[in-house]
Chain A
Amino acid sequence: DTGVSQDPRHKITKRGQNVTFRCDPISEHNRLYWYRQTLGQGPEFLTYFQNEAQLEKSRLLSDRFSAERPKGSFSTLEIQRTEQGDSAMYLCASSLALYRAYGYTFGSGTRLTVV
């Protein structure tokens, strides 16, 4: 287990279709985060899990977005009825539960293009 894995690396979809991304965190990490990065910008927080519980969601996460982390292991991020504005890099990160942030381990991301 050498890092955070994300699948797929790239996804091209037609507007209106549903897409699902997967993230496999570092096995001993109990915290998992999803971020979105648009072109030329820094990543923005979307949502956070501690074990299987989704404890916080950003206002950026509209009703079309849903994330799960069954059994506190891998996580999925689903976008329903995709829009062109959803085109971005979706980054997953994991960390141990520490009271002060020592930084996460990020995956390589899934680049979504909505055409």
Chain B
Amino acid sequence: GDSVTQMEGPVTLSEEACLTINCTYTATGYPSLFWYVQYPGEGLQLLLKATKADDKGSNKGFEATYRKETTSFHLEKGSVQVSDSAVYFCALSLPALIQGAQKLVFGQGTRLTINP
């Protein structure tokens, strides 16, 4: 079945360090790929997305490139801040029929802590 595998956490970095969170996927079709972020006590927020191969999603200094050949969508940021501390989820969604559910399949999440 369709699945997403994320780099295991927790990840602890110092402020201004470089970040990479690995994400690979298995899908029977041609998925759209997403990164969601969950801050403490809050729901999931869409961070960035990519809908076709070689697309690069970007937002708030984060980037991820849809790599079909390696079935990957790694999240990167050049210089992290304390405010980036959160849990990050990689997810995929497959095209649905007209009335079908566009279900998201999530990875297990990676907890990121940034120390000042």
Contacts and interface: CB of A to CB of B under 8 A. Distances in A.
A41 B101 contact: no
A56 B108 contact: no
A107 B43 contact: yes
B32 A101 contact: yes
Given A41-B108, A100-B32, A103-B49, A56 B42 contact: no
A45 B103 contact: yes
Given A100-B51, A103-B49, A95 B102 contact: yes
Interface residues of A, number: 30
18 contacts: A33-B101, A43-B89, A43-B104, A44-B106, A45-B103, A45-B104, A45-B105, A91-B43, A98-B102, A100-B32, A100-B95, A101-B34, A101-B95, A102-B32, A102-B51, A103-B34, A103-B36, A109-B43
Interface of A: 4, 6, 31, 33, 35, 40-45, 48, 50, 55-56, 91, 93, 95, 98-109
